[in-house]
Amino acid sequence: MTKLKGILLTQGMHGMISQVEGLAKALDLDFTHHTVETNRFWKLFPPKLTPISQSVFKKINSEDFDVIISCGRKSVIPSIYLKKNSSKKIINIHIQDPKVDLNNFSYVIAPEHDGLTGKNVYSTKGAMHYLTKEEIDNHTNYLKDKVQSGKEYFLLILGGPTKHYDYSEGNIINIFNLYNDLIIKNNLQGIIIPSMRTPKNTIDLAKNKLGEKNLVIDTVDKKAYLSALSLAKYIAVTCDSTSMISEAALTGKPIYVADIPTKKNDQRIQKFKELFHQLNITKKLYTKLETWDYEILDETSRVAKEIKKQLI
């Protein structure tokens, strides 16, 4: 059977790419990525005040597709426009709340903490993503020759500044000090992994504060990320990234959330953290480490199975 062809529309941010690509893979699409660029002053307007017009965005060079998967504010109008102006019957799926009439889309996928409801809405516990358990297991050995043998490992995944969280040097040092104390107390080795949003000065600080006896990866390296998820006994993730916390929940391992003081209301993220705490997936990073079990979370596969039933 020939695969359906898909186009993935995002603003190019890692978290968005992870979500659309994860769903496209789970739906077994033959897909291409397209970064949406908004024309002129339209970038200042929310989708609900923007016309469904090619004048709003730069042309997307793809004529032959069956499915559109979009994520993020800028991709809302292109998704609706391309569906309406295609000569074929197109299925368009938007990830996150599009903030427009949901009937513009075949399906909308939004995290439960967004509180979005509708006949074509699928709610997820946390964020969709592109990781699979098999992929994590297949990369175990990538970092093995870089870490101490005979040790257990504590992974710290670093996000980066957002409008909600203050990534000041003092706040980051507080996390590093707490993390290092737990490593020493429990005779562990640390593995520190940055993301695309992690500032260079935060990585340099990690190398300075933690690099002597721990492994600090100083570039964005997906293979290192997968290997670290596989090797770690414990995982800590900075609180700014719901996507990386969701990715870590695929491992079934204890996940600790490293809090950073807020600089703006983070109610949506607080709801996400409360949900994951209730599901027994996460605990707050504190002065004690423990292990616990929870049901592995793979929302991408679950939602894809539901949508596949409609595509057949």
Q: What is the pLDDT of residue 264?
A: 80
Asked if residue 209 is part of any domain, the answer here is yes
Which pair of tokens denotes residue 97? 């709340």
- Does residue 138 share a domain with residue 276? yes
Q: Give the CATH number of the domain where residue 198 resides.
A: 3.40.50.2000
8 A C-beta contact, residue 136 and residue 230: yes
Q: What is the pTM of this model?
A: 0.90
Does 245 lie in the same domain as 229?
yes
Residue 294 lies in a domain: no
- Report whether 100 contacts 49 (CB < 8 A): no
Question: Of all helices (H) and strands (E), which one includes residue 200?
Answer: helix 200-210
Q: In this predicted model, what pLDDT tens digit does every residue of 207-246 receive, in sequence order?
A: 999 999 999 999 999 999 999 999 999 999 999 989 899 9
Q: Kindly state whether residues 108 and 221 are assigned to the same domain.
A: no
Read off the pLDDT band of 77 (50, 70, 90): very high
In eight-state DSSP terms, residue 73 is: G
Q: Give me the half-sphere count of Cα atoms (radius 13 Å) on the Cβ side of residue 248.
A: 29
Range of the domain at 66: 5-125+300-311
- Under the banding of pLDDT at 50, 70 and 90, the label for residue 63 is confident
Does the pLDDT at position 303 exceed 80?
yes
Residues 107 and 237 in one domain: no
Assess if residue 290 is contained within a domain. Answer: no
Mean pLDDT of 63-73: 94
CATH of the domain at 117: 3.40.50
State the Rg of the chain over Cα.
20
Q: Has residue 121 been placed in a domain?
A: yes
Q: Look at residue 1 in the predicted model and tell me its pLDDT.
A: 61
Q: 293 in a domain, yes or no?
A: no
Residue 177: the pLDDT is: 97
Quote the mean pLDDT of the chain: 94
Q: What is the structure's pLDDT at 312? A: 61
Residues 248 and 239: their CA atoms lie apart, in Å, by 13
State the pLDDT at residue 2: 82
Give the list of residues 6+ apart from residue 96 with CB closer than 8 angstroms, or none: 71, 72, 109, 110, 111, 114
- 48 and 73, same domain (yes or no): yes
Whether 120 and 138 map to the same domain: the answer is no
Number of domains in the chain: 2
292 in a structural domain: no
* 310 has a pLDDT exceeding 90: no
100 and 152 co-located in one domain: no
Query: 52 and 68 share a domain?
Result: yes
- The pLDDT tens digits of the residues spanning 144-196 come to 999 999 999 999 999 999 888 988 999 999 999 999 999 999 999 999 999 99
Task: Classify 27 in phi/psi space as left (phi over 0), alpha (psi -120 to 50) or beta.
Answer: alpha
| pLDDT of 79 over the 90 cut | yes
Per-residue tokens: 103: 């009937």
Q: How far apart are alpha carbons 179 and 270 in whole angstroms?
A: 22
Same domain, 179 and 198: yes
- In angstroms, the CA 90 to CA 80 distance is 10
Higher pLDDT, 41 or 251: 251
More confident residue, 264 or 248: 248
pLDDT of residue 14: 83
Distances (CA, A) of 4 to 34, 68, 252: 17, 11, 32
DSSP calls for 11-59: -S-HHHHHHHHHHHHHTT-EEEEEE--B-GGGGGS-GGGS-SSGGGBPP
The pLDDT value given to residue 216:
98
Check residue 245 and give its pLDDT: 95
* In a domain? residue 295: no
Nearest to 28 by CA among 100, 132, 123, 171: 132
Q: Which tokens belong to 63?
A: 């004529």
Residue-wise burial string across 174-183, b where 16 or more C-beta atoms lie within 10 A, e elsewhere: ebbebbbebb
Same domain as 181, residue 59: no
252-258: average pLDDT? 98
